[in-house]
Amino acid sequence: MFAIQIFHAVEYIHNLGYSHLDIKLENILLDEFFNLKLADMGSSVDVRDTQGMTDRRRGTPMYMPPEILHYKSGQEYDAYSADVY
């Protein structure tokens, strides 16, 4: 049940044209009814105009996909895929 709620939260953010880029346990909160809330949008990126591509490397390095850690400055990657990693 929790995994489905996380998937729905990420899908909702992506449908708005944003990528979270820092999904980790510390950023997943529970309300009083045990509904998940995805928190800390400080690392999120607006990718509406770029079809999900960005050149910004944001988030916690230990939680980033390995291919993004090794990207060179200015090189673009799919931010939506990075959230799914």
- Nearest Cα neighbor of 85 from 73, 70, 67 is 67
Q: Considering 22, 31, 40, 78, which one is annotated as catalytic? A: 22
- Nearest Cα neighbor of 76 from 60, 56, 58, 51 is 56
The yes-or-no answer on residue 22 being catalytic is yes
What distance in Å separates the CA atoms of residue 18 and residue 45, rounded to the nearest whole number? 6
Active site residues: 22
